[in-house]
A and B are shown apart, each in its own frame.
Chain A
Amino acid sequence: MDFTPTETRQMLADSLRRYLAEQYPADHRNAVAYDAPFHDPAKWAELVDLGVLHALVPEGMGGFGGTGFDVTTVFEALGAALCPEPVLPALIAANLLILAGQDVAPLMDGSKTYAAAWMEPDAPFALQDITMTATTSDGGYRLSGRKSLVYGGAAASHILVAARLNGTLALFEMQASETTVEAYAMIDGGGAAELLLDNTEARLLLADASGAWEQAFEATTLALCAEAVGAMQWAYDTTLDYLKQRKQFGVPIGTFQVLQHRTVDLLMEIEQARSITIKAASEFGGPESARYTSMAKHLIGRAARQVVEETIQMHGGIAMTWEYPLSHYAKRLTMLDAQLGDTDEHLSRLLAGYAG
């Protein structure tokens, strides 16, 4: 039993945190996160140079990571800095490409940027709800319809698309330049896009891709949990500082027991969230991976809501302002719950395991 990170991961975490602290202060983050292209391409290139993408890919595929703990190391640091760079879409894409037997070198060195398009208005979480269906013509494939919330869609050179082929969920690829990508900012920063397909030509990468999509989602769900842990810790630390500085009735508000005990509750929930994320990371890729990932995402959703609502409340009005960074962390933590299955969705997946 050992809960200390390996030296390599500690170094990655340290260098990433140092870089983000220096290069991505809150005002810069907010300056880029809400306007096209919704991130900072120069800083993206520097993050790529730091090895952020290599850390998400196994050694055999040219990276130096790819395990559960590599993913959580990267995303906890990103979450702590509220970084809007499209690392999440890169993680989904890297998993999909590897499972489809494609070369991931161009993704890792930044020469190609990928986004993944799977969501539909009536298929926010579950793969089985996806209805877009590919048609064949002249030995090629064409896709029509709309894909929603394509994370990182504005910045992508290539888009990976989930659509049915003869009823089976398949994986297609297209160049962003060959289709209509309507990009927008998300309320919690960073960019997404609507993908409007009209008999658009697509390259088939994998005909039976259900497993690949599931595996990619699992990695990404784990990443979201770690991102939330980083962001919750930041919100907690910031609130604790504020409780010590802010005076009302002539004393720091942190001297009030009603706030002290509620802050302790946040401390406990964050530690529990960290614990379940560690567990999910350790089980990642194993037979119990899906179950523990669901446990983690469920608990993260509960904890994040409590942290968001309580840290805003304890700050008072200041946390309601755009100017104060906590408000942006609050939005990210809230919207993160809705990505790839919210707290109720993952709870119901756990219930399904009880039957029979």
Chain B
Amino acid sequence: MDLSYSPEEQAFQAEVRGFLATHLPEHISSAVRAGGELSKEIMEEWHALLNAKGWLATTWPTAFGGPGWSPVERHIFEEECCRAYAPRIVPFGVSMLGPVLQKFGSKAQQDHYLPRILDGTDWWCQGYSEPGAGSDLASLKTRAVRDGDHYVINGQKTWTTLGQHADWIFCLCRTDPEAKPQAGISFILVDLNTPGIEMRPIKLIEGGHEVNEVFFTDVRVPVGNLVGEENKGWTIAKYLLTHERTGIAGVGFSIQALEEVKALARKLRRGGRPLIEDPLFAARLARVEVDLEAMKITNLRMLFQAQKQGAPGPETSILKIKGTLINQELRDLARRALGPLAAPMGVATESNLLFGPPDTGNNAARYFNNRKTSIFGGSNEIQRNILTKTMLEL
């Protein structure tokens, strides 16, 4: 038993820390700290900085221009990025489509799309969920009908995250309505500039614009945009959902949130004393801190397994469930610490940040927004179904 990083991993950690200290611009980290939506420009600027270093596509093997990191190195990188308040890497092109094309795409698709993901030419979004197909994704109805050298797509996608910035969307479409639900689905790449596509914003609970709905009316897409075989899209969808799960616990973000809550609770006063000395508040805080300490080790144990077996197993669903619950609890505590002071709406600025930088703002908005984490990416109930099948074998 040894819980510490190896000397090589420690050296890697120092290298990442050094890079972030010198290359993460202050205006970017302070935008992340403020806790609101990040502009497209900021996300693109950060992607370009990482790509110049060769650190953007953290899960890609070196053959495709990735850094070829181990699961532990990826974990260290994510942890350090959180610590430094770097933006999250937008996952749709880099972490989702990239690995799919590497496994299922043709040589021509790989040669064309992968470099454009890295250099930011194409911004991708995900076309999976539909109004009638959420947890039951295989019931999706968006149709793609073969017509000569094209597919003609009709239907609607929803919850399309950051679709407003995207140039392309990868879609699951039904190509065989007669087959069993999972057997008639294909994975198709669609240029969002194609006629017949309309993207509408969905305003979220806290007022932010993060997700969209996408309408497809007689959208003609070249058959060359099919990835893998026709009607085998479900295999790709499953691969994508289970492929990259090492960062799923969001431990780095929870460590960040815990530090923020502690900082708030030390500064805010109740009855003349720091809030952190209020035993009822402190008890809530200590409980979740213990959960997080355990989560850190659970996460490392599963990373260790993934490193040994070559791939993360189904037990990583535990990380998703527990990780999101812990993060939601911490966001609740930040809102709770501020009490009525959390009410002002809008982007955090010097004037409505209670203490000014380096404190964070938007704590009520972030609490409400973070309720999504137990719903998306396979709801926590779906994760329990997965664990029931795989770990409990019930």
Contact = CB atoms under 8 A, between A and B. Distances in A.
Contact of B297 (A254, A260, A276, A355): A276
A168 interface: no
B290 A298 contact: yes
A175 interface: no
Interface string B289-323: 11101111110110111000000000100100110
B283 interface: yes
Contact of A260 (B3, B322, B388): B388
Contacts of B298: 271-272, 275
B392 interface: yes
A273 B9 CA distance: 27
Contacts of B276: 354-355
A271 B290 contact: no
A279 B381 contact: no
A1 B388 contact: no
B1 A350 contact: no
B6 A1 contact: yes
Interface residues of B, number: 43
Given A261-B388, A299-B291, A354-B286, A1 B2 contact: yes
B75 to A, nearest CB: 10
A15 to B, nearest CB: 19
A224 B394 CA distance: 31
Nearest to B303: A1
Nearest to A279: B297
A236 B290 CA distance: 22
Given A3-B301, A268-B318, A263 B290 contact: no
A264 B388 contact: yes
A6 B2 CA distance: 10
Contacts of A4: 1
A347 to B, nearest CB: 6
A2 interface: yes
Nearest to B391: A267
Given A263-B394, A264-B387, A278-B297, A347 B1 contact: no
B111 interface: no
Given A275-B295, A278-B1, A278-B3, A347 B287 contact: yes
Contact of A282 (B3, B290, B295, B322): B3
A255 B297 CA distance: 31
A86 B294 CA distance: 29
Nearest to B5: A1
Interface of A is mostly: helix
Interface in A217-269: 240, 243-244, 252, 254-255, 257, 260-261, 263-265, 267-268
A295 B294 CA distance: 9
B300 to A, nearest CB: 6
B293 to A, nearest CB: 6
A272 B294 contact: yes
A211 interface: no
Contacts of B2: 1-2, 282
Contact of A350 (B289, B318, B322): B289
Interface string B377-394: 000010011011001101
A3 B300 CA distance: 9
Interface in A265-293: 265, 267-268, 271-273, 275-276, 278-279, 281-282, 292
A67 to B, nearest CB: 9
A354 B291 CA distance: 16
27 contacts: A1-B2, A1-B5, A1-B6, A1-B303, A254-B394, A260-B385, A260-B392, A261-B381, A263-B392, A265-B384, A267-B318, A267-B387, A267-B392, A271-B298, A271-B301, A271-B315, A275-B298, A275-B301, A276-B297, A278-B3, A279-B297, A282-B1, A282-B2, A282-B3, A347-B283, A350-B286, A354-B282
Given A263-B394, A279-B3, 5 more contacts: A3-B1, A3-B301, A264-B392, A272-B298, A348-B279
